[in-house]
A = this chain, B = another copy of it.
Amino acid sequence: MAAELIRGHLDLLVLSVVARGARHGYAIAEQLRLTSEGDFDIPEGTLYPALYRLEAGSLLTSEWTVVDGRRRRMYRLTRAGKRELARRTREWTSFADAVQRVVSKPARSQM
């Protein structure tokens, strides 16, 4: 999967995963790899800054936890995050529909 396609859509993916329950960064990346069947392999240098942006925008909150001696920063959706996820999901649908219309429109008026 060409990675540059994800640009602009990563927030939707992250919000969607966190909406299924609180997750830490590493687990979010893992979940995305699994659910996308390997298509989305987000580098840490992409994912962590994205999480900070989402938290800075009050769409996520985080807290440190320790599991088996390793620290994890757990993220969960805020109320605004839930709203934003709903908005972005609708936006994705209309975007995907529009792309589909452009791509699948039959050829005509060859020159």
A-side interface residues toward B, CB under 8 Å? 1-2, 4-9, 12-13, 16-17, 19-22, 32, 35-37, 39-40, 74, 76, 89, 91-92, 94-96, 98-103, 105-111
Contacts and interface: CB of A to CB of B under 8 A. Distances in A.
Given A8-B7, A35-B102, A102-B16, A1 B109 contact: no
The quantity of this chain's copies bound in the complex is 2
A111 B76 contact: yes
A107 B1 contact: no
A19 B99 CA distance: 15
A80 to B, nearest CB: 17
A97 to B, nearest CB: 8
A105 B16 contact: yes
Contact of A8 (B4, B12, B103, B111): B4
B1 A36 contact: no
